[in-house]
Amino acid sequence: MKALSRGPALAAGALLLAAVLAIAFSVGGVHLSLADLAAGTGEAGQTARMLAALRLPRVLLAALVGACLALAGAALQALLKNPLADPFLLGTSGGAAVGAACAALVGASPLVSPAFAFVGATAASLGVAALARRGGRLDLERLLLAGLIANAFFSALLLAAFSIASGEASRTMLFWMMGSLSDATPGKVAALGPYVLAGLAVLLGAAPRLNLFAVGEESAAALGVDTERTKRVVFLAASLLTGAAVAFAGVIGFVGLLVPHGVRAVAGNDQRTLLPRPALAGAALLVAADAVSRAALAPAELPIGAITAALGAPLFAWLLLRTP
């Protein structure tokens, strides 16, 4: 039964994503004529191809970043059995941003900034988890508080780094703090792809064990799951995904929170069927949000973080009200 429903659901998700990609590619502050793109000659064709060369990497980068953030959020929510878990709220994104800011401060090449961001994200995850641990288990309340503390601390570090950086570096940092997809290039898309695939593969491998976590950590251990190892693997995968997303697009909040909830509401709680879907849904959401950010204030742009937060904050409030 499950095998039957899983295929069509994934196909539906893929179709949705494809439709959103196509729409997002054709809208924006500047009109892109698909006819000119396909068969245009002279200046019209040239303009269309140039626009496509600018817009296509951006749409694809939005898709990959959305997939990373949503996957990380879904994994953290499953692992922590906490509907409020999200790489943004738990300080993982902030740690990644600090890592990326360090890379900019020491003048490291943009190619290694994901590595810096990954180190920052991992350190943040481990630190927050250590703060939240009480009597050998992660305490829900402490986890959110630890995330709050971590975010405040990382904001302080970022502001300090921002004020000592000069010119170019401070502009780059402002970009991380606000989150932006406007620097998309084919190279970045190609570099981010493997991170998404690796994260997805690791999380799919851990999905059966994550399902047992839903029953309870003790029960999972009793059923033969190496719970500590599972936690480590999932935490690292979530950090890797978050670090990669932040390194290429800055801190974009709430996608990791929003998407897993939407998917669970539609698809239920089985991680094996659940896990690939947040990637598709997260990709679709961020591509759509980016299309709005490009079109709403044209020829200027609306920060993407403003759109995701405008969607995410009310949902967060609603979840708080529902959580006993």
Partner 1 sequence: MIRHGAKGLLLAVGLLFACREPGPADPAVGGPRRIVALAPNLTEIVFALGAGDRLVGVSEYSDHPEAARLIPRVGGLEVDPEKVAALHPDLVLAIAEGNAQGTVRALEAAGLPVTVTPSGSLDAVLESIRLVAARLGRPEEGRRLVAELERRRAAVRARVAGRRRPRALLMVWPDPPQAAGGQTFLNDVLTEAGAENLVADRRGWPVLSKEYVATAPVELLVIPDSVEARAAWDTAFASGTLSRGPVARARRVQLDEAALTRPGPRVFDMLEKLAEATR
- Residues at the interface with partner 1 (CB under 8 A): 28-30, 47, 50-51, 54-55, 167-168, 171, 175, 180, 182, 294, 298-301
Backbone angles phi, psi at 298, to 5 degrees: -50, 140
Smallest separation (angstroms) from partner 1 to the CB of 310: 19
Element (H, E) at 134: strand 133-134
Distance separating alpha carbons of residues 66 and 289, to the nearest angstrom: 10
Smallest separation (angstroms) from partner 1 to the CB of 121: 25
CA count, 13 A, side-chain hemisphere, 38: 4
Tokens of residue 277, six digits? 């879907």
Question: Of the two residues 277 and 294, which places its CB atom closer to partner 1 in the complex?
Answer: 294
CA count, 13 A, side-chain hemisphere, 157: 20
For the beta carbon of residue 200, count every other beta carbon within 10 angstroms: 19
C-alpha dist (Å) from residue 132 to 147, 148, 230, 294: 9, 11, 18, 39
Question: Of the two residues 56 and 221, which places its CB atom closer to partner 1 in the complex?
Answer: 56
Smallest separation (angstroms) from partner 1 to the CB of 31: 9
Question: Of the two residues 52 and 309, which places its CB atom closer to partner 1 in the complex?
Answer: 52
Question: Of the two residues 79 and 252, which places its CB atom closer to partner 1 in the complex?
Answer: 252
Smallest separation (angstroms) from partner 1 to the CB of 299: 4
Question: Of the two residues 198 and 306, which places its CB atom closer to partner 1 in the complex?
Answer: 306
Smallest separation (angstroms) from partner 1 to the CB of 100: 17
Provide Rg for the chain, Cα atoms: 20
